[in-house]
Amino acid sequence: MRSRPEKLALVRLAALLAGFLSACGPNEGERRYRLFGGEELLLRGAPRRVVAANAGCAEYLLDLLPPERIAALPAEVFEYAARPPERAAWPEARLLARYESEAVLAHAPDLVLVTPWQPAEVGAALRRAGVPVLVVPEVRELEEAREILLFLGRVFEREARAEELWLDVERRAAALRERAPEPAPRVLPYANLGDGGWTAGKGTTLDFALRLAGCTNLAAGAGFAGHARIDLEAVAHLAPEWIAISTEELSGGPSTTLAALRAAPLTSSLPALQKERVLRLPPRLAGSTTHHVIDAAELLREAVGR
């Protein structure tokens, strides 16, 4: 029997992916999909020239499709994809410098994968030009990872590959559950780059990664939802045993986030700082929005287990 949180997650998934069901179109070779937003996606056969609008979408293409069926990847893929491709395998002509309709259309796509937060006007322009656009939700629960992977497998006619990917995620998640730390490490995701503090609460992929790793996300437990502002008083009150930061900020020198915490009397004596318990996630994993959140969870689990 599923727990209440699991049931709620399934209800949420059903709402997000409502109608991700295909049916034969009126013409031979046509396939129609009802998307979560209610709009209809019409494809004339399996896509052969797919463009990914961002690194997250690129992760799906790289895992599911052979290179010859990928028309273009975003230039950011080498820095922000969980498992970036070989740079030499993707010449400039097959890279998308920016997500703008003209730049995308230059690659003559027959399908474009985007995420919900990207400019809606670009997607609308692509649709007016006759290019199908598929908006892929973020993965925030295991069941969502399964549904999205299997759905994309049907769209691409790569069902066996999608099932293989899902079984690997499921196996790795089970391994994490089997060796979950006791008691669960109390972790606070935190960032402060000079514009005030931010955290990742309930409904974020980082929250999902922490839960997969067997950790307690203090921000989610305190009622924070999404990527939210958090002041130093709240950070001090939560007294995290660990602090999770992205290593993206370290490229230019010492961590601005940690410096801000150490400089403030309210937070300088935090257990996490006193014991140097900092979970450093590379940018390619800190912002993961796909099934590759399992990669972030494994890195977190390894770090807290040391």
Let me know if residue 176 belongs to a domain: no
In a domain, 174, yes or no: no
Mean pLDDT, rounded, for 77-92: 92
Task: Give the SS3 label for residue 271.
Answer: helix
- The reply to whether 220 falls in a domain is yes
What is the rounded average pLDDT of the residues 186-199?
A: 91
> What does the pLDDT average to over 18-41?
61
Residue 283 and residue 234 share a domain:
yes
Strand partners, 192: 197
Domain boundary among 169, 201, 217: 169
Q: Which range marks the domain in which residue 92 is found?
A: 4-169
Specify the CATH number for the domain of residue 11: 3.40.50.1980
Helix, strand, coil content of the chain in percent (nearest 5): 45, 20, 35
Same domain? 158 vs 281: no
Q: How far apart are CA 24 and CA 124, in angstroms?
A: 24
Residue 150 in any domain: the answer is yes
Question: Are 32 and 151 members of one domain?
Answer: yes
Whether residue 271 has a cis bond before it, omega within 30° of 0: no
For residue 36, what pLDDT is reported? 57
What pLDDT band is residue 23 in, cutting at 50, 70 and 90? Answer: very low
Q: What is the pLDDT of residue 305?
A: 84
Q: For the residues 126-140, what does the mean pLDDT come to?
A: 93
Question: Are the beta carbons of 266 and 232 closer than 8 angstroms?
Answer: yes
Say if 64 falls within a structural domain: yes
Residues 200 and 161 in one domain: no
- Rounding to the nearest 10 degrees, give the CA dihedral for residues 243, 248, 253, 256: -50
Domains contained in the chain, number: 2
Summarised one tens digit per residue, pLDDT across range 230-282 is 999 999 999 999 999 987 766 656 888 999 999 999 999 999 999 999 999 98
Q: Does the structure show a pLDDT above 90 at 8?
A: no
Looking at per-residue confidence, does 185 or 45 come out higher? 185
Give the pLDDT confidence of 39-77 residue by residue, as tens digits.
677 898 899 999 999 999 999 999 999 999 999 999 999
- Confidence band for 30, pLDDT divided at 50, 70 and 90: confident
Query: Does the pLDDT at position 2 exceed 70?
Result: no
What per-residue confidence (pLDDT) applies to 193? 82
Same-domain check for residues 159 and 297: no
SS3 of residue 265 by DSSP: coil
What residues contact 239, with CB distance under 8 A and at least 6 apart? 186, 270, 271
> How far is residue 210's CA from residue 298's CA, in Å, rounded to a whole number?
9
- What was the pLDDT predicted at 185? 96
Calpha distance 80→276 (Å, rounded)? 26
14 CB-contact burial (10 Å; exposed 0-12 / middle 13-18 / buried 19+): middle
113 & 235 share domain? no
- Which pLDDT does position 64 carry in this prediction? 98
Q: Do both 140 and 38 map to the same domain?
A: yes
Give the model's confidence band at 27: pLDDT under 50 very low, under 70 low, under 90 confident, else very high: low
Predicted local distance difference test score (pLDDT) of residue 199: 96
* Exposed / middle / buried, residue 174 (Cβ in 10 Å: 0-12, 13-18, 19+): exposed
Last residue of a domain, one of 169, 199, 222: 169
Mean pLDDT calculated for residue range 287-293:
92
Q: Considering the entire predicted model, what is its pTM?
A: 0.86
